[in-house]
Amino acid sequence: KAGVTQTPRYLIKTRGQQVTLSCSPISGHRSVSWYQQTPGQGLQFLFEYFSETQRNKGNFPGRFSGRQFSNSRSEMNVSTLELGDSALYLCASSLVAGGPSTTNTGELFFGEGSRLTVL
């Protein structure tokens, strides 16, 4: 079974540009979450999508947006890039959306991430 696939793996942009990152979840997984990882702040939650609907959003400015398609693939977009947006962006998928239970481990399956450098 293929894992979570993120593209591109590495990219370099300049301030003011925009970027789109893609995430293909594990087949059958309908929930996709995005996290930003930086050395200083650690892992911070961006947003979560389930069945093409954003159900939860972290404390990030409106420049960060996302969407999910009917096949559960997700994209996130960052507009008007700033130097501080340089980070590893991680996508994670999970089987169900109802949270952990005796039948659902609540485990997230992560991709390898997209490393964004803003110059």
Is there binding between residue 105 and another protein (CB under 8 A)?
yes
Q: Please report the beta strands in the chain, taking only residues with DSSP state E, as ranges in sequence order.
A: 5-7, 10-13, 19-24, 31-38, 42-50, 53-57, 64-68, 74-78, 87-94, 109-110, 114-118
Segment interacting with another protein, rule: CB under 8 A, options 22-30, 62-70, 73-81, 106-114: 106-114
d(CA 51, CA 47): 13
Which residue in 8, 61, 84, 98 binds another protein (CB under 8 A)? 98
Is there binding between residue 107 and another protein (CB under 8 A)?
yes
d(CA 100, CA 80): 36
Is there binding between residue 59 and another protein (CB under 8 A)?
no
Q: How many residues does the chain have?
A: 119
Give the shortest CB-41-to-another protein separation in angstroms: 8
Segment interacting with another protein, rule: CB under 8 A, options 13-21, 41-49, 61-69, 72-80: 41-49
- Report which residue type is found at 7: T
Q: Contact residues for another protein (CB under 8 A)? A: 3-4, 33, 35, 41-43, 45, 48, 50, 55-56, 90, 92, 97-100, 105-108, 110-113
